[in-house]
Chain A
Amino acid sequence: MIHVERQPWREMVNHASATYPNECCGAMIGTIDGDRKTVSVALALDNVSQGPQAARYELRPEDLLRADREARSRNLELIGIYHSHPDCGAYFSETDLKNSCPWYSFVVLSIQNGTFDHANSWLPDADQTHAEKEELTWPES
């Protein structure tokens, strides 16, 4: 399961709302204790997709490298990636799956009319053919 603490959760929701009607993206940093992941830091990253950002996001690998270095400098772990889906559900789309990496949790935030609606976390497989839903909690959930 993955739990997002209050401060990073607010930052993720605010980032997703501020970016609406486009998709946002960022990194989640924290600790891993057995099966429990706890996100204590959210890092907003640039969406560098050259396509329509209302329906696409892309991270710069260099930004992920920076996020990993940030995590290591704080003695924390890079746990996952978050992004938003404007005006649709927090499912893991075919595009999400085909461009995913099986190493991380992927939190998707559904933003409806500019306001947070719901969220899910997903764990894609190595072949990019399937993603398992992962239990996700946050302070108000």
Chain B
Amino acid sequence: MARILIPTPLRQFAEKQDSIELAGVTAGEILTGLTTRFPDLRKHLYNEEGKLRSFVNVYLNDEDIRYIGRESAAVAESDTLSIVPSIAGGRNV
């Protein structure tokens, strides 16, 4: 079972757990398992087209899955996935 860490504000949609153990051999399977088990999480992670929201990054240990096969990235039992947002901004010019 791999582990996925739940960001604090999303724990209310995951029975207040800070991490979840899920079966799966790819990042996609883990993410699907997560949103199947906690359907209320889905709208926070995915847009209406079923794609990860623009500000959502998923890390497999220390690597962004976009660079290691996206949702096909291979996951081992000892791995940890993290959900990390992209954040930027700046004043009006």
- Shortest beta-carbon distance, A55 to chain B, in Å? 5
Could you say which of A5-13, A92-100, A112-120, A132-140 contacts chain B? Answer: A92-100
A-contacting residues, B1-35, CB 8 Å: 5, 7-10, 18
Mask, A61-82, CB within 8 Å of B = 1, is: 1101100100110000111010
User: Could you say which residues of chain A place their CB within 8 Å of the CB of B92?
Assistant: 55, 88, 91, 93-95
Asked if A81 meets B87 with Cβ closer than 8 Å, knowing A95-B92, A101-B55, the reply is yes
- Shortest beta-carbon distance, A50 to chain B, in Å? 10
A101→B90 CA distance, assembly (Å): 14
A61-B84 in contact (CB<8A): yes
User: Could you say which residues of chain A place their CB within 8 Å of the CB of B90?
Assistant: 23, 49, 51, 55-57, 93, 95-96
Number of interface residues of A (CB under 8 A): 40
A78→B8 CA distance, assembly (Å): 7
Asked if A99 meets B8 with Cβ closer than 8 Å, knowing A61-B57, A61-B64, the reply is no
B89-A83 in contact (CB<8A): yes
A22→B28 CA distance, assembly (Å): 39
A61-B59 in contact (CB<8A): yes
A101-B8 in contact (CB<8A): no
Can you show 16 pairs from A to B with CB atoms below 8 A apart?
A: A55-B90, A56-B88, A58-B87, A62-B84, A65-B82, A78-B8, A81-B87, A88-B91, A88-B92, A97-B89, A99-B55, A99-B86, A101-B87, A102-B44, A103-B9, A104-B85
**Residue ranges of B at the interface with A (Cβ–Cβ < 8 Å):** 5, 7-10, 18, 43-44, 53, 55, 57, 59, 62, 64, 82, 84-93
4 A-B pairs with least C-beta separation: A96-B89, A101-B85, A56-B90, A99-B88
